[in-house]
Amino acid sequence: MNKSAFELIYDVVKEIPKGKVATYGQVAALAGNKNWSRVVGYALHANPDPEHIPCHRVVNRLGEVSSAFAFGGENRQIALLEGEGVKLEGNRVDLEKYRWNAVTMEMME
């Protein structure tokens, strides 16, 4: 049985370590296809398991947090990230520092 794109995306997002943030394109690429960037957004939107799917750790290519996250207040996501130890520049994070390079490095291997 082939796992649905969502399953792969969720799996990748769940793999995001604490204090790190991943980008939609990054997750999509790890999921299998960069073109799934949109699917990633929708997958997180569905967010069937917010307890294991830290959608607040997923940001766009610019490191900005989407306004649509407002699942309890857009500031909510920022607060969560700060709680993880990720400093935010307004609604933006330092991808250079917090970008989840863990798996990315494996790809580069």
Partner DNA sequence: CTGGTGACCGCTT
Partner DNA sequence: AAAGCGGCCACCA
Residue tagged 């857009």 (tokens) = 74
Beta bridge partners of 23: 59
- What is the DSSP annotation of 40-101? HHHHHHH-S-TTT--GGGEE-TTSBPPGGG-SS-HHHHHHHHHHHT--EETTEE-HHHHB--
Q: Indicate if 55 belongs to the active site.
A: yes
Q: Indicate the residue among 2 and 109 with the shorter CB distance to DNA.
A: 2
Calculate ∠ Cα 72-78-84, nearest 5°. Answer: 110
Q: Which of 9, 55, 78, 88 is catalytic?
A: 55
Q: Indicate the residue among 41 and 98 with the shorter CB distance to DNA.
A: 41
CB of 85 to DNA, least distance (A): 20
Q: Indicate the residue among 35 and 85 with the shorter CB distance to DNA.
A: 35
Residues with catalytic roles: 55
